[in-house]
């Protein structure tokens, strides 16, 4: 038979089983965290009509999109989870109750240039809260709590949720008479981390923003405002009363920072950061970025913001919302590269490998069944191999326990439960074994997928 060399497309992540177990643990933790806040899980098609996905049109998106025809239908693979959400909400407006909270963890597709750490198929893990006409500011204040709990649950400890408000930026630039150049200025200021304040000042003067030295100074002073929440808010108060948009933004920011402690977010993990604007044009209020303290080079691992109009391309209903997104595949890749995935998270496919040493598989089947009835994951291994090969299989897959069933065990109706870590071996009934394993599971249940 002519054979075809098996391969997986470049830019498509496909994990080995143990790594997949870690990815599953991450996704399960996110699902659980999101659900704690009352977000519905949602699932939308990977394929949509191109006219739907490209309603906004233009830009890099259109170049990167996977677009094709089937029959005479012009189809595209989704490139994010936001556009399908917009379609979903517009389409099902009459059947949904608002605010509508949903999370979605799903694959999206972008035909980026293939390079290490860049993916063409990748998971996004999104949450959004959509209002009907209006959406209370408290929803924006709650988002840092979702981020904090989710990342903490994953095992991350040293991260900062950085928050800004577009109204503050827009209002501030309007104060300086630079309202028409606000977008260009934000794009330039976004380079601060990369080029430093001096080069930024130069660029603000000589670049597309064409500011006067005084204006550039003013901006640099503004974005240099730092410190604890109280300090930052106080510094911002000095600008109050000069622009209504700025003042509105300040009120919103005060509402967000004011609720943090009540929402369980420690101030150590939060910072107002006036340099953040987020590239996307549709953010209109609070914006979020989350960076790892020890790995700022990764950039933001969880970003989003408030938008005034989710679905303007599909409906005349005003649907304001707030949402965040985690680029899960890239995050996983980076954590793996940085050695930040936990080694102690169990990655075996079950807790117990049941190893019959005799041909009496009926007894082995009964033992495996009894363990499963008791909620213990058990794999039955009946291949005709030497004992050493069987134990090596157990080792290789990292089973925490092996149930050995020899003649003696069969005669006693018991099993020898071997703890693979300690080497300890006990003759137990299936029920006793299940209890022992359950206790051990409970001890590792709090094991987190990421080493913070």
- Site for a copy of itself, residues 286 to 315, rule: CB under 8 A: 311-315
Nearer to a copy of itself, 70 or 116 (CB): 70
Q: DSSP class of residue 228?
A: S
Q: Which of 29, 30, 85, 101 binds a copy of itself (CB under 8 A)?
A: 101
Q: How many residues bind a copy of itself (CB under 8 A)?
A: 107
Q: Which of 378, 402, 433, 450 binds a copy of itself (CB under 8 A)?
A: 378
Which pairing describes strands 270-272 and 159-165: parallel, antiparallel, or unpaired? Answer: parallel
Q: Which of 117, 238, 343, 384 binds a copy of itself (CB under 8 A)?
A: 384
Tokens of 120: 């063409």
Q: Which of 58, 72, 95, 115 binds a copy of itself (CB under 8 A)?
A: 95
Q: Is residue 425 classed as helix, strand or coil in its secondary structure?
A: strand
Nearer to a copy of itself, 45 or 196 (CB): 45
Nearer to a copy of itself, 193 or 267 (CB): 267
Q: Label residues 98-125 b or e (16+ Cβ within 10 Å = b).
A: bbbbbbbbbbbbbeeeeeeeebbbbbbb
Which runs of E-coded beta strand occur in 112-237?
Answer: 121-130, 159-165
Tell me how far, at minimum, the Cβ of 152 lies from a copy of itself, in Å. Answer: 12
Tell me how far, at minimum, the Cβ of 190 lies from a copy of itself, in Å. Answer: 28
Tell me how far, at minimum, the Cβ of 35 lies from a copy of itself, in Å. Answer: 6
Question: What DSSP element (H or E) covers 370?
Answer: helix 361-373
Verify binding: residue 275, a copy of itself, rule CB under 8 A. no
Q: Is residue 259 classed as helix, strand or coil in its secondary structure?
A: coil
Site for a copy of itself in 62-81 (CB under 8 A): 66, 68-71, 73, 75
Site for a copy of itself in 389-418 (CB under 8 A): 393, 396-397
Site for a copy of itself in 21-40 (CB under 8 A): 21, 23-24, 35-40
Print the binding letters for residues 222-251 with a copy of itself: x by CB under 8 A, - otherwise: ------------------------------
Tell me how far, at minimum, the Cβ of 74 lies from a copy of itself, in Å. Answer: 11
Print the binding letters for residues 158-197 with a copy of itself: x by CB under 8 A, - otherwise: ----------------------------------------
Q: What is the CA radius of gyration of the chain?
A: 27
Verify binding: residue 451, a copy of itself, rule CB under 8 A. no
Verify binding: residue 387, a copy of itself, rule CB under 8 A. no
Q: DSSP class of residue 268?
A: G
In whole angstroms, how far apart are CA 414 and each of 34, 351, 359, 368, 404?
43, 18, 16, 12, 9
Of 410, 408, 411, 353, the closest CA to residue 382 belongs to 353
In the block, which residue shows the tokens 């998971």? Answer: 123
Question: What DSSP element (H or E) covers 292?
Answer: strand 283-292
In the block, which residue shows the tokens 């190893």? Answer: 355
Verify binding: residue 282, a copy of itself, rule CB under 8 A. no
Verify binding: residue 135, a copy of itself, rule CB under 8 A. yes
Verify binding: residue 258, a copy of itself, rule CB under 8 A. yes
Q: Which of 26, 30, 52, 154 binds a copy of itself (CB under 8 A)?
A: 52
Centre a 10 Å sphere on the Cβ of residue 4 and count the other Cβ atoms it contains. 6
**CB–CB of 403/357 below 8 Å?**
no
Question: What DSSP element (H or E) covers 419?
Answer: strand 415-419
Site for a copy of itself in 328-357 (CB under 8 A): 349-350, 353
Nearer to a copy of itself, 106 or 171 (CB): 106
Q: Label residues 350-383 b or e (16+ Cβ within 10 Å = b).
A: bbbbbbbbeeeeebbeebbebbeeeebebbbbee
Cis peptide before 99 (omega within 30 of 0): yes
Q: Which of 187, 191, 372, 451 binds a copy of itself (CB under 8 A)?
A: 372
Nearer to a copy of itself, 6 or 339 (CB): 6
Verify binding: residue 49, a copy of itself, rule CB under 8 A. yes
């Amino acid at each position: 038979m002519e054979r075809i060399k098996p391969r997986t497309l470049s830019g498509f992540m496909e994990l080995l089983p143990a790594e997949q177990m870690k990815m599953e643990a991450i996704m399960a933790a996110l699902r659980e965290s999101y659900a704690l806040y009352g977000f519905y899980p949602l699932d939308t098609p990977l394929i949509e009509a191109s006219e739907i996905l490209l309603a906004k049109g233009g830009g890099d998106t259109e170049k990167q999109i996977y677009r094709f025809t089937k029959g005479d239908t012009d189809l595209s693979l989704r490139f994010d989870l936001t556009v399908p959400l917009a379609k979903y909400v517009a389409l099902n407006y009459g059947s949904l109750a608002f605010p509508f909270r949903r999370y979605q963890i799903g694959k999206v597709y972008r035909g980026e240039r293939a390079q290490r750490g860049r993916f063409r198929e990748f998971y996004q893990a999104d949450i959004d809260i959509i209002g009907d006409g209006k959406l209370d500011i408290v929803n924006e204040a709650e988002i840092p709590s979702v981020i904090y709990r989710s990342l903490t649950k994953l095992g991350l400890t040293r991260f900062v949720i950085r928050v800004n408000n577009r109204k503050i930026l827009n209002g501030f630039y309007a104060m300086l008479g630079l309202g028409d150049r606000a977008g260009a200025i934000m794009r330039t200021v976004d380079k601060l981390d990369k080029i430093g304040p001096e080069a930024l000042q130069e660029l603000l003067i000589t670049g597309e923003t064409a500011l006067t030295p005084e204006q550039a100074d003013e901006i640099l002073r503004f974005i240099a405002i730092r410190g604890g929440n109280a300090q930052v808010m106080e510094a911002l108060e000095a600008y109050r009363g000069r622009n209504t948009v700025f003042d509105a933004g300040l009120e919103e920011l005060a509402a967000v920072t004011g609720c943090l402690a009540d929402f369980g977010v420690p101030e150590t993990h939060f910072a107002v950061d006036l340099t953040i604007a987020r590239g996307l044009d549709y953010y209109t209020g609070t914006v979020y970025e989350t960076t790892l303290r020890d790995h700022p080079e990764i950039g933001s691992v969880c970003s989003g913001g408030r938008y005034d109009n989710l679905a303007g391309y599909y409906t005349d209903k005003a649907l304001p919302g707030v949402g965040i997104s985690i680029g899960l595949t890239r995050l996983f890749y980076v954590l793996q590269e940085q050695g930040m995935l936990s080694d102690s998270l169990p990655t075996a496919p079950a807790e117990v490998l049941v190893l019959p040493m005799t041909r009496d598989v009926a007894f082995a089947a009964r033992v495996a069944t009894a363990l499963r009835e008791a909620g213990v994951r058990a794999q039955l291994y009946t291949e005709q191999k030497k004992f050493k090969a069987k134990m090596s299989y157990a080792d290789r897959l990292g089973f925490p326990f092996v149930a050995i069933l020899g003649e003696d065990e069969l005669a006693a109706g018991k099993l020898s439960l071997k703890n693979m870590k300690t080497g300890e071996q006990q003759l137990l009934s299936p029920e006793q074994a299940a209890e022992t394993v359950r206790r051990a599971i409970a001890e590792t249940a709090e094991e987190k997928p990421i080493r913070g």
